Chains A and B, each alone.
With several copies, the nearest count.
Chain A
């Protein structure tokens, strides 16, 4: 792809790799028109393009659900794996183990992640595996026609049936508690915030979880739903405005905020700038983040922004002590020890 003939110059905007945005799009979506998931796909396309990611160095991973279908709709030049329900983290772990240098972008649903898949999610977080993990969280099982998921808020009511009465799982709180190294929440309708969080997550080495409220227009977008477009717009508490300053273009103009701001440096040298809005939120403080989430839950609000960040944790590849070359690129002759070594082993065993 990178070595294909240069296109004739046209008035097409190109990124740092001289690629047009088209190189980052995918197939036509088969989701319901208006589905929040499609908005997120668009943000992924834009973020990857703006960040100058080489599409063929991305691996798109997903489970099963409407959300998990979306890898077909973005980054058409990337490989991907639409695995089985709730088990994308393990497949990603295996792929990452042998090719640690790809950018793994996982997309999952709240059914996929909070019910059947919660064990795998937890353990991927625990291992601090390098990946971006996006939860397209709509409070229902879209693809199986709208049953409540384990993230449905108490008192929230989907289009059909009684309100949910069971305690929801807050995946951000869960992740923070597990020491996840990058935890954010956003809304599919907040293109800018989601975009900069996503770009920052791509620049992060370690597990980056972004829980995105993504309304299901078919089953859970009625007014009584706490995950409808209307409700979220009216009840979002934004922790901070976010801007992303890429490492390859540090002078890129960013709106200078009125108040003060915090810059956080990411592993590839890029920066995410958090502009304080109301109270200051320190993303280095796990307890503060948990407190914010607990309070929001009590008040039936959604807090969005970068909730928690820790750049000091070794990633899984470091923990595993892998050679620098991704294992898929290690030659067969190195993978298979020499005949000598086996002769020696035989000798020792015979002795």
Chain B
């Protein structure tokens, strides 16, 4: 039998709260350190313990990061999903299963490796047998696939930093798994891992942690948050880094943290901080964004620098809190009542999570408006490979603030909302500074900031606001374009789809189509995007939602003649995008227009 090296998918079915997450991460980490191109996706339930969880480990010679299109090796530990999991396997798949789960093996067209996982686990410590079970299947996998024992042990050490007993216990358990397989079973499957030279050193990190670090380096001065999956780890990341990075010798901090009473309050705090001249932020998810709508309108209208991270989960409503989606796009872009328009940054890699972490504050203070960052559960909570973080290449941009009397006197006429420079961005003074005081308000105001109901004050203000945000277009991160010279089919996509786009591209190219890629990184959209569309015969807008929200924005904003060239593929079911599903849908819409 020919071996298949580094190119298959492992699906591990457990229940959450049983310690499987650390076992899976040890597996992932050890593969990664062997130089195997690998990615991991956690499909966990919205409860604390006992419900089905799947972890998908994809090894891919092409470097594909998406969960694969089929499972090659199934680890079966959870009786609750046993049959379902078994049934979905293609013939010939490998199944490593817990013989002690009191469940039957009902398939005979697969390669079966029964392992008495619970029994083995009990030999170590009956009290924590459930926990140990998980690391045993890692040992079995290590043996079957040929994972380096050294790398495994290093990964265990990394996972349980400093906890000697835990490390020892896990290493013993790994051994039990390995030994059991070695002694009782024979490998009859083709899957192996092969060590590869590591070209560029990388590490695994979750987008939320990267973002947290970025915020710290952005000089965040106030974090107000209310816990909500999948954004909590972003806020907690900041909190965790403060002692190391933002604390003086007396243990005092330069970043205030408030656990707010809800998202409305968190949004208010962010505006308060921005109004007072500080860098305030919050991190939340869909329900929080909905609750913040009133304050978002205030931030837009009173022009308050403020930063809002939306780590998107599946909506509407409470939806699937632990599943991923690219929605809320329309809501972020046009949030709140009346007429509004907001700047949205869209990271697609952990490096960008870090970068936008600091850069967003610069934009917020530059444009004096709420800035949103659209991340999602997949990017935020799964581990992504990272080259390392780059230190900001420019000092903090604090925007147009009048800080002293000299600067103030230089104005021919000063007005908080006067467009002095023609870019729609006025100058501001800060409370406590002694500079021109104003009473900010969410009601109509003139260029001096005074209350006004005059039709023209209102009209002028609104037109300036439009100019201001619209003018930001080309100052925001430009799209990342990877273009084929044939300019046949362009794919416009965003955010975490970055993990899947190459695989989709390759699938399409296999059918003979030349595909260019254009990743949108901010709204309002950069003018390069229009050019990209113009250059290509046809463009597909690819997104992980039902309604094609990004596509809708493009249709609104593109010149008429380009609209017929733009097609929409939008699909969402909670799972990180599997290339095949999107590939097939793209083929379909292309066929409809005769491509």
Binding site for B on A (CB under 8 A): 1-3, 30-33, 55-57, 59-60, 64, 66, 69, 71-72, 76-87, 89-99, 101-102, 115-116, 118-120, 122-123, 127, 141-145, 147-148, 150, 218, 320-324, 326-328, 330, 332, 334-337, 339, 341-343, 345-346, 349-350
Contacts and interface: CB of A to CB of B under 8 A. Distances in A.
B275 A95 contact: yes
B50 A91 contact: no
A76 B449 CA distance: 13
B398 interface: yes
B413 interface: no
Contact of A2 (B259, B280, B434, B441): B434
Given A94-B224, A94-B269, 19 more contacts: A32-B48, A79-B429, A82-B441, A83-B442, A85-B318, A92-B272, A93-B268, A94-B273, A94-B278, A98-B279, A98-B280, A99-B278, A218-B49, A320-B257, A328-B432, A336-B217, A337-B246, A342-B389, A349-B203
15 contacts: A30-B45, A32-B48, A32-B50, A72-B439, A81-B275, A81-B441, A83-B298, A91-B269, A94-B268, A94-B274, A97-B278, A98-B276, A116-B263, A321-B253, A328-B221
Instruction: From A32, A55, A57, A345, name the one whose CB has the most chain B CB atoms within 10 angstroms.
Output: A345
B396 A336 contact: yes
Contacts of A78: 431, 437
Contacts of A86: 262
A85 B439 contact: no
Interface in B396-447: 396, 398, 405, 429-434, 437-443
Contacts of B520: none
B157 to A, nearest CB: 11
Given A56-B432, A64-B318, A120-B268, A332 B398 contact: yes
B265 A327 contact: no
A321 B251 CA distance: 8
Nearest to B256: A97
A213 to B, nearest CB: 19
Given A57-B432, A336-B396, A87 B295 contact: yes
Given A332-B396, A335-B219, A97 B227 contact: no
A202 to B, nearest CB: 16
B163 interface: no
A25 to B, nearest CB: 13
B265 A120 contact: yes
Contacts of B47: 30-31, 66, 69, 143
A323 B254 contact: yes
B262 A115 contact: yes
B442 A84 contact: yes
B434 A90 contact: no
Contacts of A324: 252
Interface residues of B, number: 92
A99 B434 contact: no
Contacts of A82: 439-443
Interface string B253-290: 11111111111111111111111111110000001000
Contacts of B317: 84
Nearest to B202: A350
A330 B254 contact: yes
A95 B221 CA distance: 11
Contacts of A93: 224, 258, 265, 268-269, 272
Contacts of A323: 248, 250, 252-254
A147 B227 contact: yes
Contacts of B295: 84, 87
Given A144-B227, A322-B253, A349-B386, A94 B49 contact: no
B232 interface: yes
B367 interface: no
A214 to B, nearest CB: 14
Interface string B275-318: 11111100000010000001100100010000000000000011
Interface in B323-355: none
Shortest 6 CB-CB contacts between residues of A and residues of B: A94-B272, A90-B268, A98-B278, A335-B219, A94-B269, A79-B431
A142 B253 CA distance: 28
Contacts of A98: 221-222, 256, 273, 276-280
A173 to B, nearest CB: 18
B363 interface: no
B136 interface: no
B51 interface: yes
B217 A327 contact: no
B48 A142 contact: yes
Nearest to B278: A98
Given A320-B253, A337-B245, A350-B201, A79 B439 contact: yes
B294 to A, nearest CB: 6
A141 B228 CA distance: 10
A142 B265 CA distance: 21
Contacts of A64: 318
B221 to A, nearest CB: 5
A142 B257 CA distance: 21
B173 to A, nearest CB: 22
Contacts of A31: 47-50
Given A97-B258, A335-B221, A30 B439 contact: no
A32 B16 CA distance: 10
Interface in B193-225: 201-203, 205, 213, 216-222, 224
Given A84-B298, A98-B280, A218 B273 contact: no
